[in-house]
A and B are shown apart, each in its own frame.
Chain A
Amino acid sequence: MTEVLIHPGLVLIVGALLLPLLRGTLRSVAVVALPLLVLALVWQVPDGPAGQLRYLDHTLTPLQGDKLSRLFATLFSLMAAGGGLFAMTQKSRVEVPAAFVYAGSAIGVALAGDLVTVFVFWELMAVGSTLVLWSQGTEAAYRAARRYLMIHLLGGVVLFAGVTGHIVDTGDVAFSRMALDSPAHWLILIGFLVNAGAPPLSAWLPDAYPEASWSGSVFLSAFTTKTAVYVLIRGFPGAELLIWIGLFMAFYGIVYGLLENDIRRILAYTIVNQSGLMMVGVGIGTEMALDGAAAQAFVGVIYVALLLMSAGSVMQMTGKRKCTELGGLVRTMPLTAACGVIGAMAISAFPLTSGFISKSMVSQAALDGHHPWIWLLLTAASVGACLHAGIKFSWFVFFQKDSGLRPAEPPVSMRWAMVLFSLLCVALGIWPEPLYALLPYAVNYVPYTGAHVVTQLQLLLFSGLAFFVLLPYLKRSLTITLDADWLWRILLPALLRNVGMPLVRGWNMLVHAAYVLITESTALVLYQHRQDGRFARTWSTRSMALWVLVLLLGFLILYYV
């Protein structure tokens, strides 16, 4: 190789570690310039393996490029830049560096050519994201971060077991398409699914993300679930199971999102809903479907981040985070409201927004593959995204009743981040060609036909009608809806207290009793063997003869019995 290649992910990670040394303007420039430099480096990565090294008798490929890898690495760099801009006024000095380590590791996963590298960056992501959560500094965030880390370390262990099994089975470390034909591959799939937010552990996501700071949840929304979608596209395209898991996630996100009162938890459920829709694409597995899933991941990260930015701005400026406390903010935060509504339209897949040109590709793949049921459910699930994230979120935060709050617009860096992401949402909706050119397969899909537009408008506007007609049933209250995290927050501790502890106590008593029995009996034996103990003293010949007689008589009786 003639040129020296620099790993873009490592650049971001090393840069993140140097970031705390900078102050003032220099730091403000660095938080945007560094990810953009990384973006430029991502585009220098050539097709095929770019750097290899030997480790434990295996050839690792830490850096490998193709269209799919570059698409996700581009997305992650863009997201780090946008998030960095949004978080410029963040007081915590840990959050942005942690987020850049997190983003750099996500880029590392996207550009990894082998499973060992995937695993290493995968775990580094868990560390970075936990630190982002932790840097919020509240007790709630600390506890949520512990639960979050617990689930991700569990997922990591399962993934590690799978990777090890795969290497033992095949002797090959390369990260390529796998069939679900061995326990190792199932374990790898499960490890990937934990991060995708799949059931039954999906509750880590809505549990943890809303506890991050106003800027932290923007970072968190972007990387974990989307790297999971990436590795599923590369590792398990066409695994039919993913269609059903994906549909479940999509509806789970909608139903829980509809019931939720915390504005950022609504959006956390939306992330599960969106990942689910992408996984349906991965499960269908045709070129159109995989392109659709990849395109949706790309635009989805941007509009979900935009929604979380508007939610973060509201939270930062009002100090409130519940639908019941908010409302009518359009009066004094028109820009934030406009950006939030653009994000809402994009996630609803309104024509002329980025959601429209991507979501319809997965639907088209379901149509082409003649899966009427999947198509019907997919359509319902994307209408539901419009219902709970698009309409519900923006209505309750920015319109609804007048809450009496009169917050100002957020600081200029936050406004710029929102405006730029809004522009991206609209620009990709109007000119999808640059995005289509980045997709792994050749796209021959025309989003703007009369039939597509009319179909989509009918679906969305009538779901809007349903929302306003049924609004009395959607009135928010100070409630949460129990999720699977109940299992490890209430049930397991309770089991431990009420069943585990008595069991442990019983066991301890048993051990103690055995200990007493053994020590007492040894003491007795020792006692009887002391100098003039029963077994050590000199016995008279008379008594010896008597005992021998007794023994012989006993033997005689037993012999005849």
Chain B
Amino acid sequence: MDEKNHWLDQPGNVKLLWRGFLLVLLLTVVAEFWIPMHPHFAIESIFGFNAWYGFVVCALMIGLAKGLALLLERPDTYYGKDND
């Protein structure tokens, strides 16, 4: 096994993965043109609803978590060594 230089360590491959990922993202949105979507609620019929909703709620949850961290984050030795 090539330990020193795993294929994931090479910047070129990472770049390629990113491009592939963005292409797949685009495809899932464009697929709405061909696939009947049967929206149940008005908000769902906005184009690409699930794409931006997925992105926005994740960003919001990360924001919420960071906000909570300001209040409640403590070093992991808070309850004594090894968090016992």
Contacts and interface: CB of A to CB of B under 8 A. Distances in A.
Q: Which of B37, B75, B82, B83 has the most CB of A within 10 A?
A: B83
B interface, how many residues as a size bin?
35 or more
Contacts of B79: 480, 489-490
Contact of B69 (A254, A259, A451): A259
A121 B4 CA distance: 53
Interface in A383-418: 383-384, 387, 399, 402, 406
A460 interface: yes
A473 B73 contact: no
B64 A255 contact: yes
A24 interface: no
A380 B9 contact: no
Nearest to A482: B72
A462 B55 contact: yes
B48 to A, nearest CB: 7
Given A140-B83, A478-B75, A255 B61 contact: yes
Interface stretch (A194-202, A230-238, A463-471): A463-471
Given A251-B61, A331-B1, A462 B8 contact: no
Interface in A219-271: 251, 254-256, 258-259, 261-262
A133 B57 CA distance: 36
Contacts of A255: 61, 64-65, 68
A259 to B, nearest CB: 5
Contact of A332 (B1, B31, B74, B83): B1
Given A459-B50, A481-B69, A406 B3 contact: yes
Contacts of A251: 61
Contacts of B55: 462-463, 465-466
B62 A473 contact: yes
A455 interface: yes
A330 interface: yes
B16 interface: no
B15 interface: no
Q: Which of B24, B29, B51 has the most CB of A within 10 A?
A: B51
Contact of A450 (B35, B43, B84): B35
Contact of A458 (B21, B28, B40, B74): B28
Interface in B1-53: 1, 3, 6, 8-9, 21, 24-25, 28-29, 31-32, 35-38, 40-41, 43, 48, 50-53
B13 to A, nearest CB: 13
A372 B76 CA distance: 40
Given A372-B41, A479-B74, A481-B72, A383 B64 contact: no
A375 interface: yes
Contacts of A331: 1, 3, 6
B19 to A, nearest CB: 13
A254 B66 CA distance: 12
Q: Which of A332, A399, A450 has the most CB of B within 10 A?
A: A450
B58 A384 contact: yes
Contacts of B35: 450-451, 454
A534 to B, nearest CB: 65
B40 A367 contact: yes
A462 B38 CA distance: 21
A470 B1 contact: no
Contact of B76 (A143, A457, A460, A479): A479
Given A143-B84, A479-B75, A481-B72, A462 B25 contact: yes
A450 B83 CA distance: 48
Contact of A466 (B29, B54, B72): B54
A474 B62 contact: yes
A454 B37 contact: yes
B68 A457 contact: no
A461 interface: yes
A372 B79 CA distance: 42
Contact of B62 (A258, A460, A478, A489): A258
Given A454-B28, A466-B59, A259 B48 contact: no
Nearest to B25: A461
Contacts of B25: 461-462, 465
Contacts of A322: 76
A254 B84 contact: no
Contacts of B29: 458
A443 to B, nearest CB: 19
B36 A383 contact: no
Contacts of A473: 62, 66
A139 interface: yes
Given A258-B62, A380-B57, A454-B37, 6 more contacts: A332-B1, A451-B37, A458-B54, A462-B58, A466-B62, A480-B79
29 contacts: A139-B84, A140-B82, A251-B61, A254-B61, A258-B61, A331-B3, A375-B40, A380-B57, A384-B58, A387-B62, A402-B6, A450-B35, A454-B28, A454-B31, A454-B50, A458-B28, A458-B48, A459-B50, A460-B54, A461-B21, A462-B50, A462-B54, A462-B55, A470-B58, A470-B59, A473-B62, A480-B75, A481-B69, A482-B73
Q: Give 8 nearest A-B pairs by CB, closest first.
A: A466-B58, A140-B84, A458-B50, A462-B54, A459-B54, A450-B35, A380-B57, A258-B65
